[in-house]
């Protein structure tokens, strides 16, 4: 039999070959397998809250109709919560998606629960498949409720994972190696939260394998936007963007400090009232835009009161994001006579977004332009923190112990005075007056610096001087000022003569000219530099 005869002999009447039938059956099998498995759950499930007696979940399906969470401590999954999904639309192609949110109630503390989530199957595929089951369903996942009585907790904190999902995923893969009770994200999950289609690839895909089993608490970032997509997806029903929770010896407050345009009064009052009302041994606060940050955005959210209010509220750690870098500040000491805690500020904005430049200072205990996450472990009065890079290498380590509520002396010896930190912020915020015109070779011009310093509590000595990289200016002698502890307003003026032609660029004039301020306050000696800029 030749090849042509052989092929004809296998043909099915009606001119469709057996191989074509086999191909169609195989293709249908692939489609049905995809729809019948967890592929019908297009985002999540993600655990948004877990306490002693309840847990909140979210997930998304492509098909409208009620969903369910099936759960139990054993494998029966006999308990059930039904959901009515929220319809949302992709901005790019108006594709619809359906967000399911559920609270599992009346749970027992310190117990492991199994759960799976379900949604509706696409009707046409349901008819073709004739499988009898009208829903798609996820795999079975586990989570653990908060124990009623524990003195131990382990958790991760990271932030700013937007824009680069591959790097975010590498960070998450390292985080998945740690056994933790929860994760805090300091915000900026996506490049633009107004575009619903970004949440899948930039956030939900990279956190797979982590967020199904441990709760993910999020302090909203400015990139989440105000379209409501963030709230629809990630704030459980009945909850607000700012919220607090307890786990054994820890009280943790997450604050939304971006939705209302960096408003501070309301949020600072919340921080003060929430943390003061807690009797927990350790108090953490996370919000997106830092109150202390040197480099990147140089954020000073809540300036000039936040540092004092956080201390008076008894906060131990403030972990934020926004600037894409790692910086752990030395603990900050209140002025003499002040009553409050030594707060450690950490900027943890290295979750995947493009890294930003850091400005090292004497106030940093550790800092770097590096992708990372922080692992905290608290056991009673002892706290340890290890910060890991994207390869799982430890880049920072801290251990502190409290005795009768007071931190160990070795840690407190590293503290820096709040007045010095505040002065550094003041000096950075105040720029030299922009030159009104381009300086001309051989013609003198004035550099002016108008500084307003609030009460520091102790005097400061400052020396101002001009610096030119190329010796292209005739520079005046440095000037020294003493700032009284009550603060005040000061005006420093220099006369300079260019010895070469000067060009105006976006940053410093060319050749570059800088104003340097070296200061001493208490034991702190530091300096800050400003480029001299001219109007074009
Ligand atoms: Fe941000």
Q: How far apart are CA 296 and CA 290, in angstroms?
A: 11
| CA–centroid distance, residue 186 to ligand 1 (Å) | 9
| CA–centroid distance, residue 301 to ligand 1 (Å) | 12
| CA–centroid distance, residue 529 to ligand 1 (Å) | 25
pLDDT for 400 equals 98
| CA–centroid distance, residue 322 to ligand 1 (Å) | 4
| CA–centroid distance, residue 495 to ligand 1 (Å) | 40
| CA–centroid distance, residue 188 to ligand 1 (Å) | 5
| CA–centroid distance, residue 315 to ligand 1 (Å) | 23
Spatial neighbors of 52 by CB under 8 A, at least 6 apart, are 107, 109, 110, 145, 146, 147, 148
pLDDT for 127 equals 58
| CA–centroid distance, residue 221 to ligand 1 (Å) | 5
By CB atoms closer than 10 A (0-12, 13-18, 19+), residue 400 is buried
Cis peptide upstream of residue 441 (ω within 30 degrees of 0) = no
The overall longest dimension of the chain from CA atoms, in Å, is: 108
| CA–centroid distance, residue 263 to ligand 1 (Å) | 15
| CA–centroid distance, residue 120 to ligand 1 (Å) | 36
| CA–centroid distance, residue 224 to ligand 1 (Å) | 9
Q: How far apart are CA 256 and CA 357, in angstroms?
A: 25
| CA–centroid distance, residue 226 to ligand 1 (Å) | 13
| CA–centroid distance, residue 5 to ligand 1 (Å) | 70
| CA–centroid distance, residue 129 to ligand 1 (Å) | 47
Spatial neighbors of 412 by CB under 8 A, at least 6 apart, are 331, 333, 342
pLDDT along the chain (536 residues), means of 10: 36 44 46 46 96 97 92 96 92 88 98 94 63 75 97 98 97 98 98 94 97 98 96 97 98 96 90 96 98 96 93 96 98 84 97 95 97 98 98 98 93 93 94 94 96 88 90 94 93 95 87 95 93 91
pLDDT for 304 equals 87
| CA–centroid distance, residue 253 to ligand 1 (Å) | 19
| CA–centroid distance, residue 337 to ligand 1 (Å) | 36
Contact 171, 371 (CB under 8 A): yes
């Amino acid at each position: 039999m030749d090849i042509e005869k052989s092929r004809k002999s296998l043909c099915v009447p009606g001119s469709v070959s057996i191989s074509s039938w086999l191909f169609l059956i195989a293709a249908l099998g692939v489609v049905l397998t995809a729809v019948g498995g967890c592929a019908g759950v297009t985002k999540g499930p993600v655990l948004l809250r877990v306490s002693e007696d309840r847990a909140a979940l979210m997930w998304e399906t492509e098909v409208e109709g009620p969903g369910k969470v099936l759960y139990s401590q054993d494998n029966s999954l006999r308990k059930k919560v039904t959901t009515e999904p929220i319809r949302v639309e992709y901005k790019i192609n108006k594709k619809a998606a359906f967000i399911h949110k559920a609270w599992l109630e009346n749970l027992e503390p310190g117990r492991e629960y199994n759960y799976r989530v379900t949604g509706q199957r696409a009707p046409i595929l349901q008819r073709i498949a004739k499988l009898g089951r009208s829903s798609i369903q996820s795999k079975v996942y586990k989570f653990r409720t908060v124990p009623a009585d524990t003195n131990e907790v382990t958790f991760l904190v990271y932030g700013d994972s937007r824009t680069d999902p591959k790097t975010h995923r590498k960070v998450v893969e390292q985080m998945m190696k740690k056994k933790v009770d929860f994760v805090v994200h300091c915000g900026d999950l996506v490049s633009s939260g107004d575009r619903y289609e970004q949440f899948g690839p930039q956030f939900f895909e990279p956190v797979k394998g982590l967020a199904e089993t441990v709760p993910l608490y999020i302090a909203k970032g400015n990139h989440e936007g105000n379209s409501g997509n963030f709230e629809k997806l990630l704030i459980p029903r009945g909850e607000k963007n700012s919220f607090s929770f307890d786990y054994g010896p820890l009280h943790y407050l997450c604050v939304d400090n971006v939705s209302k345009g960096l408003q501070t009064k309301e949020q600072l009052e919340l921080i003060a009232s929430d943390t003061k009302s807690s009797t927990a041994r350790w108090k953490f606060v996370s919000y997106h835009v830092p109150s202390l940050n040197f480099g990147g955005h140089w954020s000073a959210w809540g300036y000039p009161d936040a540092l004092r209010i956080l201390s008076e509220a008894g906060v131990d750690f403030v972990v934020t994001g926004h600037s894409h870098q790692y910086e752990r500040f030395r603990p900050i000491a209140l002025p003499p006579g002040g009553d409050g805690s030594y707060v450690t500020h950490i900027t943890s904005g290295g979750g995947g977004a493009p890294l930003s430049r850091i400005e090292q200072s004497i106030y940093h205990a550790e800092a770097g332009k590096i992708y990372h996450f922080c692992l905290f472990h608290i056991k009673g009065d002892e706290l340890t923190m290890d910060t890991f890079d994207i390869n799982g290498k430890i880049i920072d380590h801290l251990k502190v112990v409290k005795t009768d509520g007071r931190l160990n002396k070795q840690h407190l010896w590293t503290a820096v005075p709040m007045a010095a930190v505040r002065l550094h912020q003041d000096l950075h915020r105040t720029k030299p007056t922009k030159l009104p015109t381009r300086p001309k070779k051989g013609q003198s011009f004035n550099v002016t610096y108008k500084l307003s310093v609030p009460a520091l509590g102790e005097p400061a000595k400052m020396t101002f001087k001009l610096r030119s990289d190329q010796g292209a200016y005739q520079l005046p002698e440095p000037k020294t000022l003493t700032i009284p502890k009550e603060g005040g307003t000061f005006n420093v003026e220099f006369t300079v003569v260019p010895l070469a032609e000067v060009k105006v660029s976006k940053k410093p004039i060319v050749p570059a000219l800088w104003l340097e301020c070296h200061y001493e306050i208490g034991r702190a000696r530091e300096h800050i530099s400003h480029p001299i800029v001219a109007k074009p």
